[in-house]
Amino acid sequence: MHILTAKNLNKTFHENVALHNVDLEIPKQSIFGLLGPNGAGKSTFIRIVNQIINADSGQIQINGEDLASKHIGTIGYLPEERGLYKKMKVGDQLLYLAQLKGLPKKEAVQKIKAWLERFEASDWLHKKIEDLSKGMQQKVQFISTVMHEPELIILDEPFSGFDPINANLIKDEILRLREKGSTVIFSTHRMESVEEMCDYIALINKSEKILDGEKSKIKNDFKSNQFTLVHRGNGISTNDTFNLEKKAELGEGVYQSTLKLLSDTSSNQLLQELINQKVDIISFQEDIPSINDIFIQLVKGENQNIPTS
């Protein structure tokens, strides 16, 4: 079941095409990475889902229903440009935003206290936003986004402004929210976070979706049947099983070689061939491309034949 479905979504600003026939399906209780270079159309898509702007054409459904004002309360949105009221106290700010999302005052107060305790920030309650550091303000904004336990959480560059410790804290909270049943869409340029957290990804470039699907399958589709071998001695003979692409000496008679499989050879056959050649193997692993590698490859247009299997 998909929590969000977009079909043939189009948006143009004057002569600038922001989205062109974009289709997306976002599974429930998943973490979905929305990727793309600056100006690709990601923010436009997010604003349409949040009903900040309207699409020119196409359709968005939430849980199978056409997007409508009633869905605002089921969505939590953390924009890239943060928007807290600097003169307000933290508690008043969070209470105001919680009530905008439909939480009764008593319940909102309880949730505010619980979230501040989670972030070891109970003493922030009566501090003004302007008196907090940037990282502390980011935490308050994150709390305001998720406090009403939205079914769909949209985070635009959620780790911006955080040091590594606090970035890990927010990662843990995102994972916890997914485990509790929320679906999380996040847009980020931090590919290590995509690698670590995302179940599914979509790549938008120049207003069009050029790739989407389960992250592990996409990485598998882009692998090139290449292996890295660390071994002692340099006696490896290329044959009809593999090509020796490159080799480098690491020192003290230890080498690192890159091998590429030929035809329908399996990794087990390659390993058996190396054993037959009496290669002294230290380590052997398949080279799986990172999401960052795939992103750069596709955005730069280095691979026009995107795998579809």
Question: How do residues 124-170 score in pLDDT, each as one tens digit?
Answer: 999 999 999 888 898 999 999 999 999 999 999 888 878 888 889 99
Listed by start position, the domains of the chain span 2-214, 224-286
Residue 84 has pLDDT above 50, yes or no: yes
**SS3 of residue 177 by DSSP:** helix
pTM of the model: 0.86
What CA dihedral angle connects 108, 105, 140 and 204, to 10 degrees? Answer: 70
Q: Residues with Cβ < 8 Å from 24, sequence gap 6 or more?
A: 4, 5, 6, 9, 45, 202, 209, 212
Q: Kindly report the backbone phi and psi dihedral angles of residue 58, in degrees, each rounded to the nearest multiple of 5, phi listed first.
A: 105, -175
Question: Would you tell me how many other CB atoms lie within 10 Å of the CB of residue 304?
Answer: 6
Torsion (CA) 156, 2, 44, 82 in degrees, nearest 10: -20
Burial class (CB in 10 A: 0-12, 13-18, 19+), 290: middle
Mean pLDDT computed over 112-116: 95
DSSP helix/strand/coil, 22: strand
What pLDDT is recorded for position 309? 37
Enter the CATH code of domain 224-286.
3.30.70
State the Cα–Cα distance between residues 7 and 129, nearest whole angstrom: 40
Per-residue pLDDT tens for 196-235?
Answer: 999 999 999 999 999 999 999 999 999 888 999 999 987 8
What SS3 class is residue 116?
Answer: helix
- Model confidence at 308: pLDDT above 50: no
The whole-angstrom separation of Cα 274 and Cα 269 is: 9
> pLDDT at position 80, please?
81
Domain 2-214: which CATH number of 3.30.499.10, 3.10.510.20, 3.30.2080.10, 3.40.50.300: 3.40.50.300
Six-digit token pair at 76?
């939590």
Contacts of 62 (CB under 8 A, 6+ apart): 3, 4, 71, 74, 152
279: Cα within 13 Å, side-chain hemisphere = 24
pLDDT category, 236, cuts 50, 70, 90?
confident
